[in-house]
Chain A
Amino acid sequence: NAGVMQNPRHLVRRRGQEARLRCSPMKGHSHVYWYRQLPEEGLKFMVYLQKENIIDESGMPKERFSAEFPKEGPSILRIQQVVRGDSAAYFCASSPPHGTHEQYFGPGTRLTVT
Chain B
Amino acid sequence: DAKTTQPPSMDCAEGRAANLPCNHSTISGNEYVYWYRQIHSQGPQYIIHGLKNNETNEMASLIITEDRKSSTLILPHATLRDTAVYYCIVRVRHRGSNYKLTFGKGTLLTVNP
Contact = CB atoms under 8 A, between A and B. Distances in A.
Interface stretch (B11-19, B20-28, B42-50, B70-78): B42-50
A101 B94 contact: yes
Contact of A91 (B32, B44, B46, B93): B44
Given A45-B101, A48-B100, A56-B100, A101 B93 contact: yes
Contacts of B43: 4, 91, 93, 105-108
A45 B100 contact: yes
Interface of A is mostly: strand
Interface of B is mostly: loop
Given A106-B43, A107-B42, A59 B100 contact: yes
B1 to A, nearest CB: 11
A33 interface: yes
Interface string B49-77: 10000000000000000000000000000
Contact of B106 (A42, A59, A100, A107): A42
Interface in A46-72: 48, 56, 59
A67 to B, nearest CB: 14
A43 interface: yes
Interface residues of A, number: 24
Q: How large is the interface on B (under 10, 10 to 19, 20 to 34, 35 or more residues)?
A: 20 to 34
A7 to B, nearest CB: 13
A95 B49 CA distance: 15
Q: Which of B43, B45, B102, B104 has the largest count of A CB atoms less than 10 A from its CB?
A: B43
Interface of A: 4, 31, 33, 35, 42-45, 48, 56, 59, 89, 91, 93, 95, 100-108
21 contacts: A4-B43, A33-B99, A33-B100, A43-B101, A44-B103, A45-B100, A45-B102, A48-B99, A91-B43, A100-B94, A101-B32, A101-B49, A101-B93, A102-B34, A102-B46, A103-B46, A103-B101, A105-B44, A105-B45, A106-B43, A108-B41
